[in-house]
Amino acid sequence: MILTIGGLNMDEILTVQEVAKYLKVSRSTVWRWCNQRRLLAFKAGHGWRVHRTAVEKMMGYSLEQFEGEDEAAIQTYSGG
């Protein structure tokens, strides 16, 4: 049975530690992203919780930034 609350699959709610492990960054990095609102999260007790889609959106945005930078670097390098 999958627990859903307000349309959210609760199996997809991650702790800071789970996000850090998933992205291979430190927990303090994830906390900083939450505090800076770079990563959409909510407080649950004394800790942050993050929906998996928020992590995927942040990663997608970061990948789009990298892709844009890579294309610009390739154009500069190739003289384009």
The Cα–Cα gap between 67 and 48 comes to: 30
Global pTM reads 0.64
Domain boundaries, the chain: 11-77
How many beta carbons lie within 10 A of that of residue 54, not counting itself? Answer: 20
Query: Which pLDDT value is given to residue 66?
Result: 54
Residue 73 contacts residue 39 (beta carbons within 8 Å):
no
The C-alpha atoms of residue 77 and residue 70 are separated, in whole angstroms, by 10
- Give the right CATH number for 11-77 from 1.20.1250, 3.30.70, 1.10.1660, 1.10.155: 1.10.1660
Confidence at residue 76, expressed as pLDDT on a 0 to 100 scale: 46
DSSP 18-66: HHHHHHT--HHHHHHHHHTTSS--EEETTEEEEEHHHHHHHHHHHHHHH
Mean pLDDT split into 10-residue runs, the chain, 80 residues:
53 90 94 92 92 88 57 48
Q: Quick one: pLDDT at residue 69?
A: 52
